[in-house]
Chains A and B, each alone.
Chain A
């Protein structure tokens, strides 16, 4: 009986843990969720700022929130086409993701003509390391936001204005956007590989 009371009181304090507990051994209820569940939650979050913020919460979240499975992946070297979410070229990927965008691909290709943002990491001056980083290309058009993520190595210090850069793309095709943006970034970057991730959501 006493034990039961103890457990109950423990439970009720647990409920208020979030504000007060700083205990090492404490495991947060949300971390009881399995990886699949937690990733499902993250899949509802947009890359900026939420996925980058959740990635910093703890190691497990870092691994899950940055997991490639949360992105549709375009990888020319891919052999096994049965792997979910991986496509040999952008066009296939977009047409599969079309139900998310609810826009015809051909229409999309024509309309894609707005501002593109390039967001990158900063060169680490102190260590002079070749750093691996993501370049996030954010394209806005119609009522959609598309995030393209390209993995790059950067070798030179970046001018500060490149860290967040917006520029007009003109009326290029979607593949053109990537090559334009990456060509632009190529002045400062060496490609680590040609894998591109993308993610779309309706613009609010």
Chain B
């Protein structure tokens, strides 16, 4: 999916720059093929395709901050370059791992929301997988503490739910 959109028009469009405007009003210049990976930007560019000069187009992205965008853009750009070549899946995976390894939990959440809004599905999959990995095989208490989630069950409700499936809470990792 990513490779088909990029490889056909790679040489000509990668020269062209598009301006993205973030939620906090910052303008970021990106290559057109990168911008086309973002669904809202793609739609906007299609609607304004009669505009002769691409440079003049400013695409508003009111749900993404500049900080998040400036992390997303290099990722998408490199990912596009990778998938344009006939590289092994291993390399892409290694690249994804490298990108996600050092992300804080807050950043992970912000990126996930942005990837969801921008329709970058390959990134969304990777991020969701990483988030799931961080709570895999953990106890209920650990997950609540780790993510700072308020327990809104009453003790009775929780006891009842636990009694329904006592085997589900054995053998999880020690915190």
Contact between A29 and B116, CB atoms less than 8 A apart: no
Which chain A residues lie closer than 8 Å to B139 at the CB level? 53
Whole-angstrom CA separation of A36 from B146 in the bound complex? 21
Which chain B residues lie closer than 8 Å to A18 at the CB level? 105, 145-148
Contact between B169 and A53, CB atoms less than 8 A apart: yes
User: How many chain A residues touch B (Cβ–Cβ < 8 Å)?
Assistant: 46
Comparing B11-19, B48-56, B86-94, B157-165, the segment that makes contact with chain A is B157-165
Contact between B151 and A57, CB atoms less than 8 A apart: yes
Comparing B27-35, B38-46, B95-103, B130-138, the segment that makes contact with chain A is B130-138
Which chain B residues lie closer than 8 Å to A53 at the CB level? 138-140, 143, 168-169, 172
Given known pairs A53-B138, A53-B139, the reply for A36 and B116 (CB within 8 Å) is: yes
A-B contact count (CB 8 A): 132
Q: Which of these, B132, B151, B167, contacts A45 with CB under 8 Å? A: B132
Contact between B163 and A124, CB atoms less than 8 A apart: yes
Contact between A164 and B109, CB atoms less than 8 A apart: no
Comparing A19-27, A76-84, A88-96, the segment that makes contact with chain B is A19-27
Contact between B132 and A26, CB atoms less than 8 A apart: no
Q: Does A134 make an interface contact (CB < 8 A)?
A: yes
Contact between A44 and B170, CB atoms less than 8 A apart: no
Which chain A residues lie closer than 8 Å to B155 at the CB level? none
Q: Does B150 make an interface contact (CB < 8 A)?
A: yes
- Which A residues, 54 to 86, have Cβ-Cβ distances below 8 Å to chain B? 54-59, 61-62
Q: Does B106 make an interface contact (CB < 8 A)?
A: yes
Q: Which residue numbers of A lie inside 8 Å of B, CB to CB?
A: 14-15, 17-19, 21, 24, 26, 28-34, 36-37, 40-45, 48-50, 52-59, 61-62, 119, 121-122, 124, 131, 133-134, 136, 163-164
Q: Which residue numbers of B lie inside 8 Å of A, CB to CB?
A: 104-106, 109-110, 112-113, 116, 124-125, 128-129, 131-133, 135-140, 143-153, 158, 160-172
| 23 A-B pairs (CB sep. < 8 Å) | A28-B147, A28-B150, A29-B105, A29-B148, A31-B149, A37-B124, A40-B125, A42-B132, A45-B136, A49-B137, A50-B136, A50-B138, A53-B140, A56-B158, A58-B150, A58-B153, A59-B152, A119-B167, A122-B164, A124-B163, A133-B164, A134-B164, A163-B166
